[in-house]
Amino acid sequence: SPAIGVLALQGDVAEHRRVLDALGVRTVEVLSPDRLDTVDALVVPGGESTTMSKLAARYGLLEPLRKRVRAGMPAYGTCAGMIMLADRILGGTADQETIGGIDMTVRRNAFGRQTESFEADVRLDGLDGRPFDAVFIRAPWVEDVGPGVTVLGTVSRPGEAGRIVAVRQGVLMATSFHPELTGDVRVHRLFVDIVKGHA
Ligand code: GLN
């Protein structure tokens, strides 16, 4: 069975591992290029993308990560992880680097000050139709996507209606929100199905 790595530089690593454990998937904490070589797929957790980017460079992981993603390794990023998988970012720090892979522009901290954190029902393509209770924490949104990217979900809150918060490009997936925090395993299950070649 496949091993899914969780990039363990920073962020909510344990929460992602817990959900994947619950789905019966073997997980590995990835903190080095050697470890990265042992995994079939990767989750990039939520946290702080500027810190994650710096640490990835410091641990010599940035180039190996880019190489694996280019070579077709499935990856799923939540929140800061979404930022890390974006080809282009807005509102980043001057030297902020990403792994990239998804042809999209992501705006950091996009939801305004009063709404830094909120929950909202999001309807996601590829799930069973029941809305997903999505938790947003200083979340980004996707400003634009290239032709190869499928929009899986948008928010419907007044003022922000239609903002893209979930995408897929081939075996790469990203959400602005944190399914690892709410006990609903459906988004992770979708990723596991992608990893197994079933979705
Ligand atoms: N605002 C954070 C960033 O820019 C992301 C927040 C999160 O992952 N919950 O990286």
> pLDDT per position in the chain (199 positions), as tens?
899 999 999 999 999 999 999 999 999 999 999 999 999 999 999 999 999 999 999 999 999 999 999 999 999 999 999 999 999 999 999 999 999 999 999 999 999 776 689 999 999 998 888 999 999 999 999 999 999 999 999 998 888 889 999 999 999 999 999 999 998 999 999 999 999 999 9
Domains detected in the chain = 3-195 (3.40.50.880)
Q: Are strands 75-78 and 41-44 parallel, antiparallel or unpaired?
A: parallel
pTM, entire model: 0.97
Distances (CA, A) of 132 to 26, 51, 111, 147: 25, 29, 19, 25
Q: If you measure from the C-alpha of residue 1 to the centroid of ligand 1, how many angstroms do you get, rounded to a whole number?
A: 31
**Is residue 137 annotated as involved in ligand binding?**
yes
Whether 63 is catalytic: no
**In contact, 19 and 43? CB cutoff 8 Å:** no
ipTM: 0.94
Whether 188 is catalytic: no
**Is residue 97 annotated as involved in ligand binding?**
no
Pocket flag, ligand 1, residue 16 (CB < 6 Å): no
